[in-house]
């Protein structure tokens, strides 16, 4: 009887461990992007393919480039980036494998979100 109980405990424990070690399907992930002299940094954001929603927080820290907004044509997003202010955009990424964002001048400065 005792050994049966012990086995049951071990099984339930390993069950728990399995759940913790496999990556859970996250619904939202947040990334910070600085818009400086180099453009959007980081310019490449890799996300898990299971991700539903992404939150990008942009902070423009320079006046020296034309990248004063962030445009995501595919999703009709166009947001001004005031100097040294955090601007968050939240959107669904379920239907896209790759999304490009950039400035208004045909992506002279740009970045992309890529699914792993």
* CA angle (52, 61, 111) in 5-degree steps: 40
On whether the CB atoms of residues 37 and 108 are closer than 8 A, the answer is no
Measured from the CB atom, is 11 or 66 closer to Cu ion?
66
Cβ–Cβ < 8 Å for 19, 52? no
- Least distance from C-beta 102 to Cu ion, angstroms? 8
Least separation, in Å, of the C-beta of 86 and Cu ion? Answer: 21
Residue 47 Cβ, how far from Cu ion at the closest point, in Å? 25
Cβ of residue 45: shortest distance to Cu ion, in angstroms? Answer: 20
Strands 110-115 and 98-102: antiparallel
Strand order in the sheet with 110-115: 44-47, 110-115, 98-102, 69-72, 77-80
Closer to Cu ion by Cβ: residue 8 or 66: 66
Nearer residue to Cu ion within complex by CB, 70 or 113 = 70
DSSP, res 24: P
Closer CB to Cu ion, residue 70 or residue 103?
103
Q: Would you tell me which residues interact with Cu ion (CB under 5 A)?
A: 66, 103, 105, 108
């Amino acid at each position: 009887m005792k050994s049966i109980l012990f086995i049951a405990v071990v099984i339930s424990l390993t069950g728990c461990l399995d759940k913790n070690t496999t990556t859970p399907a996250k619904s939202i992930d947040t990334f910070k992007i600085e818009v400086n002299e180099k453009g959007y940094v980081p310019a490449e954001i890799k996300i898990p393919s299971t991700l539903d929603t992404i939150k990008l927080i942009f902070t423009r820290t320079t006046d020296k480039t034309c990248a004063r907004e962030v445009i995501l044509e595919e999703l009709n997003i166009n947001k001004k980036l005031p100097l040294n202010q955090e601007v968050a955009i939240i959107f669904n990424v379920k239907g896209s494998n790759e999304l490009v964002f950039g400035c208004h001048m045909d992506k002279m400065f740009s970045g992309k979100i890529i699914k792993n």
